[in-house]
Amino acid sequence: MYFISTRGGGRVTGAQAIVQGIADDGGLFVPEHFPAVSRGELESMLEMDYAERTAFVLSKYLDDYNADELLEAIRAAYSRFEDDDAAPLVRIDDGVFILELFHGPTCAFKDMALTVLPYLLKKGCEIVGIKENVLVLVATSGDTGKAALEGFKNAEGVKIMTFYPEEGVSKMQKQQMCTTEGNNVNVVAVSGNFDDCQTGVKNIFNSAECKAELHRKGYLLSSANSINFGRLAPQIAYYFSAYCDLASSGQIRMGDLVDFTVPTGNFGNILAAYYAKKMGLPIGKLVCASNRNNVLTSFFDSGVYDCKRPFFKTMSPSMDILVSSNLERLIFEFSGRNAALTAERMTALSAKGKYAVCPEELEAMRENFYAGFASEDDTVECIYEFFMEYGYPMDTHTGVAMHVAQKYAEQQDESAEKSPMVVVSTASPYKFPQDVLYALTGNDVKDSYKGVKRINLLTAMKVPESLKAIRYLPIRFKKTTTPAKMFKEVLDFV
Ligand SMILES: *Cc1c(COP(=O)(O)O)cnc(C)c1O
C-alpha cells in the first residue's frame, strides 16, 4: 500500500509516511486507495480481542510492517490500559451506547494511538533505513501532549518536545504534562492559543532551513500530531471494534447501520470513522460535535470554512480549535481526490483564513455527516441531566457530544428507522474535575484533587491510578515562550 499527498506530491510507503509525518509539499499523507474489509472478514473480527482487531485493521494499510510483530507491539501497548478491553462499549439505553476511549495511561482517547505510535515510528525508521535520532514535535490542546510524552519518554534515539497554549489547558492536563519523567522530554508553554502552537510547529516542519539545522545536529523531525497517518490508523480500529461488540452482543445484526457521534477538534477522530466507513464498515451518519468554537458546524451548514472568528476558551479545551488540520483529508476525498484543488484551498486558508467547497461537494458531505454544537450551558446541563437519568458521569468533551447526539435524534424524522447511536467518549471525567464537578453539583473548587475526591464520592466511579500517581510529583517544566521563539526552544533542547 502506498500513500500520496493531499496536495499532489510523491508516493511513499506506510513507514515513510509515518516517519515523515507530513508530505514535502505541506499536504497530508492519505492511502492511495481504501483497503476493503469484506463481510466475511468483519465476521471473523467478532472472535478477535481488541489488540487483534487493531492489528488486523493496521495491517491492511501498513503492509510493509511485519504483521506478527505489529500484533505483538499493539498487544504490549494496550496492556498498559486499566481496563482489559482498551475500548469498552457501554449500553446506556435502547439504541444509545458510549464507546469509552479513556482507559489508557493518560485518561484521554489520544492514548489509543499514541501508545502504538512509538513502535510504528521506531520500526518505520528501521524499515526506511534511517540512522539519525528522531525529534518528535507536538502542538497540543492538552491531551495529545501528555499522551505523546508518556508514549515516547525514555525511548531510545528519540527526543520529544511538546508545546501547549499557556492559558488553554486544564490544571490537571498541565500537571500531567509538567510532571512527566524521562531524560528525553521537554514541555514548553506558548503565550497564545492552540492554533498558534499548531501553526508554530507546522512552520518548523515546512521550513527547509529549520530541517537542515536539525539535520546538522543529527535529528530528523517527526510529528505525533493527528496529521501523522500513524495517529489515524489505530483510531480506525475502535470503530470496527465497537461495531463488532454491538453485533456479538445481539444489539444489531451484521450489516445493520450504526451512527457515531464524535466530539471534534482537529477532525482526526471523526475522520478515522469516515475511513472505517470507506473500508466497508456499515456506518450511517457521522455526527460532528463542536463546542462554542463551532467553525465546523458552520462549514457543514454553508460549505464555507472561515476561521477568522473569535476564539473562545471553553471547558472542553481539547476542542478549542479553529483550524482543523485533518479536514484537509476530507476535502481531498470529496473533491474527487483533486490534489490541485485541495492545495489551492489550503493556500487560501493560510492566506485569507477561508475557503469554500462547491454545492455538490457539500451535499455529498452532508449525506455522510451531521454537524452541531453545544454551548457551555448546554454542556453543563447535559452532563447533569445525563447523570441524573442514567447515573453515568461524562467528561466535558463527551458532554458536548451527547448534547449534539440528542439534538440529532430530535431532528430526525419520527417515521424514519433509527440506527443505534454510539457516542464516543474521549476523556475520563477525572481529567477535567473542576468543570465536571460544577456540572454535577454547581460547586466550584480551585483544587483539581478536591474535585476528583468529590466526584468520586458522588459517582463512585474509580479514580484512574495514573492521575493519583502524579499528584505529588515535582513540576519539572515551567518555561513559557512566544510563537516566534518556538524554534529557538527546539534548538536549545537538542
Ligand atoms: C483531542 C480531543 C478531542 C478532539 O479530537 P480530534 O481528533 O482533534 O477531533 C476531543 N476530546 C478530547 C478529550 C480530546 O483529547
At residue 206, the pLDDT reads: 86
User: Regarding predicted confidence, which is higher, 24 or 371?
Assistant: 371
pLDDT of 133 above 90: yes
At residue 170, the pLDDT reads: 87
Q: Please tell me the distance from the alpha carbon of residue 454 to that of residue 470, in angstroms, as a whole number.
A: 18
At residue 316, the pLDDT reads: 96
Centroid of ligand 1 to alpha carbon of 397 (angstroms): 8
Average pLDDT rounded to a whole number, residues 430-442: 97
At residue 295, the pLDDT reads: 98
Please report the DSSP string for 367-389 in residue order: HHEEEEE--HHHHHHHHHHHHHH
Per-residue pLDDT tens digits for 393-415: 999 999 999 999 999 999 998 88
Centroid of ligand 1 to alpha carbon of 121 (angstroms): 22
% of the chain residues with pLDDT over 70: 100
- Which ligand 1 atom is at minimum distance from the Cα of 267? 9
- Calculate the average pLDDT of the chain: 95
pLDDT band for position 202 (cuts 50, 70, 90): confident
pLDDT of 83 above 90: no
* 3-state SS assignment for residue 252: coil
- Nearest to 289, CA basis, from 371, 382, 409, 410: 371
pLDDT of 8 above 90: yes
Per-residue pLDDT tens digits for 305-335: 999 999 999 999 999 999 999 999 999 999 9
pLDDT of 371 above 90: yes
Determine contact, residues 490/483, Cβ cutoff 8 Å.
no
pLDDT band for position 378 (cuts 50, 70, 90): very high
Average pLDDT rounded to a whole number, residues 87-91: 97
Centroid of ligand 1 to alpha carbon of 39 (angstroms): 30
At residue 141, the pLDDT reads: 83
Per-residue pLDDT tens digits for 469-493: 999 999 999 999 999 999 999 999 9
- Nearest to 190, CA basis, from 491, 486, 477, 475: 486
Tell me which residue has its CA closest to atom 14 in ligand 1. Answer: 318
Tell me which residue has its CA closest to atom 2 in ligand 1. Answer: 318
At residue 417, the pLDDT reads: 85
* Residues pairing with 286 in the sheet: 260, 369
**C-alpha neighbours within 13 Å on the C-beta side of residue 53:** 26
pLDDT of 228 above 90: yes
Please report the DSSP string for 105-130 in residue order: TTSBTHHHHHTTHHHHHHHHHHHHT-
At residue 196, the pLDDT reads: 92
Ligand 1 pocket: which of 150, 318, 329, 428 to mutate (most atoms within 8 A of CB):
318
Give me the helix-helix angle, 208-216 and 486-493, nearest 10°: 10
Centroid of ligand 1 to alpha carbon of 129 (angstroms): 33
Per-residue pLDDT tens digits for 27-71: 999 999 999 999 999 999 999 999 999 999 999 999 999 999 999
Average pLDDT rounded to a whole number, residues 357-373: 98
Cα dist from 282 to 127, 145, 424, 444, whole Å: 34, 33, 17, 43
Place of cell 471473523: 44
pLDDT of 416 above 90: no
pLDDT of 226 above 90: no
Counting every residue written for the chain, the total comes to 494
pTM of the model: 0.95
Which residues, including other chains, have CB under 8 Å from residue 344's CB and lie 6 or more apart?
none
pLDDT of 270 above 90: yes
